[in-house]
Amino acid sequence: MTLKLLLAGALALTLTPLGAMADSWQERDVWEALFQDYDAEGSLLVVDQRQDTQAAWVHDAERARQRFVPASTFKVPHTLFALDAGVVEDEFQVFAWDGTDRGVPAWNADQDLRSALRNSTVWLYQQFARELGEESERRYLEATDYGNAEVGADIQNFWLEPDNLEVSAAEQIGFLQQLYRNALPFDEADQRLVKDLMIAEAGRDWILRGKTGWSGELAWWVGWVEWPSGPVFFALNMDTPDRMDDIPKRDAIVREALRDLEALP
């Protein structure tokens, strides 16, 4: 772990999220109907920090405070850990595929940070985890106050399987708010790089940044829409009893909810 992180870790814990943990969340009735329309069980928290809004909206507030396995949403902080530790140099470094067919065509190729984040390439982040090791992973998790900061015994899968690392929708947004402000205990250049890697789409005056995740039983989509007037953060998690058949619901629910708030075109 770098000296910068050791010195800044205590400071990171004192940074107050800009509303994600407030008790003023407002239940949005129309979102209950939205989840029902898609036959989905889950939670959605949106923290709108545009200058003229400043509100937090939620569907199922109790669940938004409940911790779940982060799955591939953990690639956002994990990328910062790897950059800070020197496990990866920059977005241009290429990591050779070992030739093992892992059942996902996009994974069966050499990777860099951009392709790995876009394709959620599990094997590369498992490699990062092995190189970081249990002690460093735990120290990074504690320094960034990420979820329960639990690594468990399986260094290669602790963010993918239940009963190890877990994080709530509220905590996801708290982390993203700090990333948005470059307020995490990492080099600002690394935080800016990760935000660039998170870009999903953009318009003339807005940028959508996010990361999905799926454990097989639970799907996530977390991120924010960046406007000139400020960001709109979101974190959705939902059960996926029908597995891959349920995945499209994640995107549809978030987009409809954001459009309901005029936070996405």
* Catalytic center residues: 72
Cα–Cα distance measured from residue 153 to residue 22, given in angstroms and rounded to the nearest whole number: 34
Contact assessment for residue 236 and residue 222, using Cβ atoms and an 8 Å cutoff: yes
- Provide the 8-state DSSP code for 39: T
List the beta bridge partners of residue 68: 167
What radius of gyration do the chain's Cα atoms show?
18
Cα–Cα distance measured from residue 195 to residue 174, given in angstroms and rounded to the nearest whole number: 15
The H or E element containing residue 170 is: helix 169-180
Tokens of 111: 């990777």
Q: Which of 211, 222, 219, 221 is nearest to 244 (CA)?
A: 219
Cα–Cα distance measured from residue 59 to residue 37, given in angstroms and rounded to the nearest whole number: 14
Contact assessment for residue 262 and residue 244, using Cβ atoms and an 8 Å cutoff: no
List the beta bridge partners of residue 220: 213, 237
Cα–Cα distance measured from residue 188 to residue 186, given in angstroms and rounded to the nearest whole number: 6
Contact assessment for residue 34 and residue 116, using Cβ atoms and an 8 Å cutoff: no
Cα–Cα distance measured from residue 243 to residue 245, given in angstroms and rounded to the nearest whole number: 5
Contact assessment for residue 47 and residue 20, using Cβ atoms and an 8 Å cutoff: yes
